[in-house]
């Protein structure tokens, strides 16, 4: 039987100790090793078919380069095809140049506290649509005199809605009212002047 770090029954001092892994996740007995139980997300994770095929490719490369004998290669190949976890695969190829099967590292969890919705700032109030309409109609009064009447109507409507709902846009409503009444007052003054001049 071949001896090696992959063989738990190997010679003393060369056997794999499943109770220890190195700080880099490598199996063996390095100084400062930590128990496998402290890293349940690493070596204990179950291997996939792709992981087993990758380990077999590493063994084939090692055999073709003369790093493994025929008997040892066949033993490792059989164990690789039946490996269940990353630790099982890592111990079979840890002493080969390609290194062990990469072990996925779990993503770090966020450490910031989750703020309850109760303490989140309230969204800003929306702008009243009637107030915007009043302002637009008021601005158009110099070009289209008839928009003065909608500006006044929408301005009063917006004022009432803003008092009831607390929306923004009071300034828009006031500007629309002012422009609308100015336009109406100008038209009435012109009509009154024409009447007085013709009498």
DSSP state of 160: H
Placement of tokens 């289209």 in the chain = 144
Residue that has been written with the tokens 């269940």 in this structure: 84
User: What does the mean pLDDT of the chain come to?
Assistant: 74
| pLDDT tens sequence across 80-96 | 999 889 888 888 888 88
35 membership: H or E segment, kind and range:
strand 34-35
Tens-digit pLDDT profile for residues 144-161: 778 888 888 998 898 898
Higher-pLDDT residue of 181, 116: 181
What's residue 105's pLDDT? 62
11 — pLDDT class (breaks 50, 70, 90): very low
pLDDT (average), residues 11-17: 39
């Amino acid at each position: 039987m071949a001896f090696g770090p992959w063989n738990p029954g190997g010679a003393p001092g060369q056997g794999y100790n499943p109770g220890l892994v190195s700080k880099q996740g490598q199996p063996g007995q390095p100084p400062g090793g930590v128990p496998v139980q402290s890293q349940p997300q690493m070596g204990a994770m179950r291997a996939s078919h792709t992981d087993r095929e990758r380990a077999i490719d590493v063994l084939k490369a090692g055999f073709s380069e003369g790093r493994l004998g025929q008997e040892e290669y066949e033993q490792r190949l059989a164990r690789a095809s039946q490996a269940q976890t990353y630790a099982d695969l890592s111990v079979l190829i840890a002493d080969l140049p390609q290194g062990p099967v990469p072990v996925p590292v779990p993503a770090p969890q966020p450490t910031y506290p989750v703020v309850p919705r109760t303490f989140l700032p309230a969204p800003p109030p929306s702008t009243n649509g009637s107030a915007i309409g009043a302002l637009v109609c008021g601005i158009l009064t110099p070009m289209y005199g008839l928009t003065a009447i909608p500006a006044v109507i929408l301005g009063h409507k917006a004022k009432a809605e803003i008092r009831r709902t607390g929306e923004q846009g009071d300034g828009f409503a006031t500007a629309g009212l002012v422009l609308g009444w100015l336009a109406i007052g100008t038209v009435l003054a012109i009509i009154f002047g024409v009447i007085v001049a013709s009498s």
